[in-house]
Amino acid sequence: MSAQPDQIVHQPVRLKVLAALRALPDGESLDFVRLRGIVDATEGNLGAHITTLEGAGYVEVNKDFHQRRPRTRIRLTVRGRRALEDYVAYLRGILDT
């Protein structure tokens, strides 16, 4: 167990994003608008956090069009799943001491 939590995951909005994506079946993605409602963040705030998560390799972002409208979909990567699991293990380690 690490002495410090992963600072990327530790931030509350990013933790909510990873937890929401973890609840999906493997390989599934979530629409940006729906994710924004789940984590209760503004569009700009959520966008910045997703950029950080994408830069760390924790999420993949796919942009396409749905009914001629732009759509952004976010998917948890294997690396992101592992980072969230490690973070949860870190928290459990604190609780067990």
pLDDT digits 0-9 by tens, 23-59? 999 989 999 999 999 999 999 999 999 999 999 999 9
- With CA atoms as reference, report the closest residue to 24 among 56, 59, 63: 59
Stretch 69-77: mean pLDDT: 94
- With CA atoms as reference, report the closest residue to 1 among 78, 77, 91: 91
Domains and CATH numbers, the chain: 7-96 (1.10.10.10)
Which band of pLDDT confidence, cut at 50, 70 and 90, is reported for residue 76? Answer: very high
Phi, psi of 15 (to 5 degrees): -60, -45
Q: Whole-model pTM?
A: 0.91
